[in-house]
Amino acid sequence: MLRVIPLLLVAFRSVHAVTMEAVKIFSGANCAGTPDVLAMYNVSASCAVDACSDINFGNDTYYISRACNISDRFAHTEQVFGDFTYVIMETYDNK
């Protein structure tokens, strides 16, 4: 049995005290359960909270929720994944 390990992607510029937006991607309907992916980015001017919306990708439907004003990426990740094992991958932009 293949086990999927949730993945957290963090992309931000090297800035102190940054506010982030978090996007959770679910393969289960209606954003239920633990997300397959949690991606976090520097907050953009257009960040809008979205409780749950669907998106078609190929022949599959995924569900996405968005949260804004995340100040502690590690605390937010722990809250989202709880006791599940996850991988954190951070990318930095020197702009």
More confident residue, 33 or 18: 33
Whether 95 maps to a domain, the answer reads no
Check residue 7 and give its pLDDT.
Answer: 53
The reply to whether the predicted model has a pTM over 0.85 is no
Residues 56-72 have pLDDT tens digits of 989 999 999 999 999 99
Check residue 91 and give its pLDDT.
Answer: 84
Whether 2 maps to a domain, the answer reads no
Whether 1 maps to a domain, the answer reads no
Whether 78 maps to a domain, the answer reads yes
For the beta carbon of residue 17, count every other beta carbon within 10 angstroms: 5
Amino acid at 93: D
Q: Distances from the Cα of 39 to the Cαs of 2, 11, 20, 27, 86, in angstroms?
A: 22, 8, 10, 15, 12
Reported confidence tier of residue 43, pLDDT bands at 50, 70, 90: confident
Mean pLDDT across the stretch 69-95? 88
Mean pLDDT across the stretch 41-48? 81
The answer for residues whose C-beta is within 8 angstroms of residue 4's C-beta and 6 or more apart is 36
Tell me which H or E stretch contains 20: strand 20-26
